[in-house]
Amino acid sequence: MSVERTSPFSTALVTAGAWGLAILWILPLAYAIWTAFHPAIYAARLDLLAPWTLENFSRAWNAAPFARYFLNTFMLVSLILVCQFVICTMAAYAFVCFPFRGSNLLFMAVLLQLMIMPEVLLVENYRTLSRLGLLDTILGMGLPYLASAFGIFLFRQTFKSVPKELEEAARLEGAGPIQVLLRVFIPVAKPTYIAYGLVTVSYHWNNFLWPLIVTNSVETRPITVGLQVFSTVEQGVDWSLVTAATILSVAPLLLAFLLFQRQFVQSFLRAGIR
């Protein structure tokens, strides 16, 4: 679209740079895949003729109740995702369409929350959960994250960009506030939802410290905490086992991303999250 023609040299430079960064980024993953599919002695040696094996995966799978951990992570992430969508949407909608005295101040308070690292609240959150009797439950693990300041902020910005005319047209047609939200705002904000959903899912899929602290049993622990059993630091690290377990645990996310790559990239571009 640009009228200026870039020189072939600078194009080549950009392409080379992009490739360089991409290769750098994929290296750890490539190493993980290489190590996971080969016997342990090839962990630090690149030999193209090395025999392939699935043994590391079966060892990893049998070393921990992965199926249960997957289920727990899945339940935790879905709980958080659904609640965040509902709560953040409602809050953002209220901030955009129903301003009241002090609503700006309230929004500032929400933004302020972005500055607080969740780790600071560990002890206080733990105490609250213990009073509620929710320690060692999936609900308890998700509770502090059910509302998200970032989500409210993001949805509010997106809703603000929806043309007033659209909203008014819907009202003229006789749509109530809920219908306006469902028929006008949410469809327009779909790319934002997808992008935000991806950020949230990957964050909570990988979250470690909080789940570790509030859970005690196999029935509630998510996969990241289960994975910890493989980092047996005193003995040095059994890389083939660790990489096999890591690949197992990120595989669902990775597959989903690869399958829906185009949609994700597009919604990131449209939603403006980078």
Partner 1 sequence: MKSATRRTVLAAAAAFAAAITAGAAQAKTQVMFYYPIQVGGPLTQVIDGYVAKFKAANPDIEVQPVYSGNYIDTTTKSLTAAKSGKPPTVAVLLATDIFTLIDEDVVQPIDDFAKTPEDKAWIAGFMPAFLKSAQVDGHLWAAPFQRSTAVLYYNKKAFAEAGLDPHKPPTTWDDMVKAGKAVLKKDDAGKTTRWGVGIPGNVGSAQWLFGALAAQNGARLMNDAGTEAYLTDPKVVEALQFWVDLSKVHGIHPPGIQEWGTTPADFLEQRIAMVWTTTGNLTNIGKNATFDFGLAPYPGKVSPASVLGGGNLYIFSGAPQAEKEAGFKFIKFLTSDETLADWAIQTGYVAPRDGAWEQPSLKAYVAKTPAAEVAKKQIAVSVPEFSTHENNRTTKALNDALAAALTGAKTPAQALADGQAEIDRILKPYKK
DSSP assigned state of 143: G
Q: Is 120 one of the binding residues for partner 1 (CB under 8 A)?
A: no
Residue choice 6, 216, 263, 266 for contact with partner 1 (CB under 8 A): 216
Q: Is 212 one of the binding residues for partner 1 (CB under 8 A)?
A: yes
Using CB under 8 A as the binding rule, the residues of this chain from 49 to 78 that contact partner 1 are 63
- Residue 137, phi-psi category: left (phi > 0), alpha (psi -120 to 50), beta (remainder): beta
Closer to partner 1 by CB, 41 or 116: give it.
41
List of residues 6+ apart from 230 with CB closer than 8 A? 60, 63, 64, 238, 241, 242, 245
List of residues 6+ apart from 188 with CB closer than 8 A? 158, 162, 166
* Nearest CA among 162, 180, 159 for reference residue 171: 180
* Contact characters 11-40, partner 1, x per CB under 8 A: -----------------------------x
Exposure string over 132-157, b if 16+ CB within 10 A, otherwise e: eebbbbbebbbbbbebbbbbbbbbbe
Q: Is 229 one of the binding residues for partner 1 (CB under 8 A)?
A: yes
Q: Report the length, in residues, of the chain.
A: 274
Closer to partner 1 by CB, 53 or 228: give it.
228
Q: Which stretch binds partner 1 (CB under 8 A): 50-58, 142-150, 231-239, 250-258?
A: 231-239
Count, residues near partner 1 per rule CB under 8 A: 30
Both tokens of 33, joined, read: 């895949």
d(CA 265, CA 217): 38
Nearest-approach distance from CB 247 to partner 1, in angstroms = 19
Using CB under 8 A as the binding rule, the residues of this chain from 136 to 195 that contact partner 1 are none
Q: Is 254 one of the binding residues for partner 1 (CB under 8 A)?
A: no
Q: Is 236 one of the binding residues for partner 1 (CB under 8 A)?
A: yes
Closer to partner 1 by CB, 72 or 84: give it.
72
d(CA 242, CA 266): 33
Q: Is 8 one of the binding residues for partner 1 (CB under 8 A)?
A: no
d(CA 155, CA 95): 10
List of residues 6+ apart from 270 with CB closer than 8 A? 191, 192, 195
Q: Is 217 one of the binding residues for partner 1 (CB under 8 A)?
A: yes
Q: Is 235 one of the binding residues for partner 1 (CB under 8 A)?
A: yes
Q: Which stretch binds partner 1 (CB under 8 A): 83-91, 138-146, 223-231, 248-256?
A: 223-231
Sign of CA dihedral 52, 54, 60, 63: negative
Q: Which stretch binds partner 1 (CB under 8 A): 145-153, 194-202, 221-229, 251-259?
A: 221-229
Q: Is 132 one of the binding residues for partner 1 (CB under 8 A)?
A: no
Write out the residues near partner 1 by the rule CB under 8 A: 40-41, 43-45, 63, 122-124, 126-127, 130, 135, 209, 212-213, 216-217, 225, 228-229, 231-239
